[in-house]
Amino acid sequence: MTTTPSPRPDGSPPAAVEAVGLVKTYGSVRAVDGVSLRVEPGEVYGMLGPNGAGKTTFLRMLFGLIRPDSGTVRVFGRSWAESGVGVLEGVAGFIEAPRFYPYLTGRQNLEALALLDGGASRGRVEEVLGTVDLADRAHLKVGGYSYGMKQRLGVAASLLRDPRLLVLDEPANGLDPGGIRDMRALVKRLASGGLTVLLSSHHMDEVEEICDNVTIMARGAVAFHGSLPDLRALAPEPGHLLRTTDDVAAERLALARPDLRVGRDGDTLRVAGQRAATTGLVADLVAAGVGLLELTPTQTPLEELFFMLTDPAGTAPTGGAAA
């Protein structure tokens, strides 16, 4: 059933994930439209995109749950066409919200799933339950679990496989702030142990915090592909919203500075530029006797970039500052 993964021509080990030209259409919707990406062993890779970008569809194809219309995906050098289910050797994770048998307890679910993997020792089940902090609830039926508990059980079920590649589809979805923090800490901890992680997310800050490389998807296609430093280099200058005692004068002063770009967000003045330019404007306002009531940063530059990349039509609240 399984074939030995072929090393690359230069003899280096195969990529953890290598997708080439993946396409999946549902009727007229091109859910995934020619996506190619490559996840190197040992890195934490982020797939970022708004709702409906095609992240889940991509991951379903990776797991063989759906068949691509065209293109291939290789995991550690193995493809579905050649290796069948052997592709999933060393791979674990979950798609959307993890699901379990509600009539079994958390522990029984893990024990049953471990049977499919060829069995796991009782100690190992307890160990992963401890890792995700579920040991004291493991005797309860999953039917009564909260969303966050099921999410954590999903991570436990994945870890049970001792994966080399962990695939998580929006792991923080539906978690409370504490749960999100714990989940990110867990992913970082696992990654520092050498595990390769491919994770999808809506949130730039999540990807920024834990990922090495990122693919940003929009409407099925890749909008950006590269490292976080590359991404930061693309980000627009930080923007600020401004409320003053005299907005007309403030706007005139802002427009007079060549190092600032000026726009309006409804009634509120918006400026974008390097920090020195913004502080320069504040000095100008004070000098002109205009009172500064409020100076609020707009979205972080990366968030702003995310909206630019995924919504080029400009309906996102980036406005002039991003142009």
Partner 1 sequence: MSAAVRFELRKLAAQWRVRALLLAALLGPIPVALVMSAQANPPKDTLFGRFALDNGFALALMLLGFLGQWVLPLLTSVVAGDSFASEDQHGTWKTVLTRSTSRNRLFWAKVLVNLGLTTLVLVVLAASTIASALLVEGAPALTGLTGQLIAPGHALWLVAAAWLSVLPPLLGFTCLALLMSVWTRSSAAAIAVPVVLALAMQMLGSVGTLEPVRPFLLTTAFESWHGLLTDPRFTGPLLEGFVVSAAWAAVCLAGASFILHRRDITGG
Distance CA 40, CA 90 (A): 15
Minimum Å gap between C-beta 47 and Mg ion is: 10
Task: Please report the sign of the dihedral spanned by the C-alpha atoms of residue 166, residue 150, residue 68, residue 215.
Answer: negative
Minimum Å gap between C-beta 317 and ligand ATP is: 19
Whether residue 149 contacts residue 134, with contact meaning beta carbons closer than 8 Å, is answered with: yes
76 binds partner 1 (CB under 8 A): no
Out of 5, 46, 49, 106, the only residue in the binding site for ligand ATP (CB under 6 A) is 49
DSSP result, 20-80: EEEEEEETTEEEEEEEEEEE-TT-EEEEE--TTSSHHHHHHHHTTSS--SEEEEEETTEEH
323 binds partner 1 (CB under 8 A): no
Minimum Å gap between C-beta 100 and partner 1 is: 6
Chain mean position to CA 173? 11
55 binds ligand ATP (CB under 6 A): yes
Integer CA distances (angstroms), 19 to 74, 116, 187, in order: 6, 27, 23
- Report what 31 binds from partner 1, ligand ATP, Mg ion, none; CB cut-off 5-8 Å by kind: ligand ATP
Out of 19, 32, 48, 95, the only residue in the binding site for partner 1 (CB under 8 A) is 95
Binding segment for partner 1 (CB under 8 A), chosen from 62-70, 223-231, 233-241, 308-316, is: 62-70
Identify the DSSP state of 15: P
60 binds partner 1 (CB under 8 A): yes
Q: Which is nearer to partner 1, 113 or 290 (CB)?
A: 113
Out of 119, 123, 193, 258, the only residue in the binding site for partner 1 (CB under 8 A) is 119
Q: In sequence order, which ranges of 256-322 are alpha helices (DSSP H)?
A: 275-287, 301-310, 319-322
Inter-residue long-range contacts of 313-318, CB under 8 Å, 24+ positions, other chains counted = 317/265, 318/236
Q: Number of residues interacting with Mg ion: please give it, by CB under 5 A.
A: 1
Minimum Å gap between C-beta 16 and partner 1 is: 16
Binding segment for Mg ion (CB under 5 A), chosen from 1-9, 55-63, 132-140, 224-232, is: 55-63
Distance CA 112, CA 118 (A): 10
56 binds Mg ion (CB under 5 A): yes
Q: Which residues pair with 169 in a beta bridge?
A: 200
Residues in contact with partner 1 by CB under 8 A are 1, 60, 63-67, 84-86, 88-89, 91-104, 108, 111-113, 115-119, 157, 161
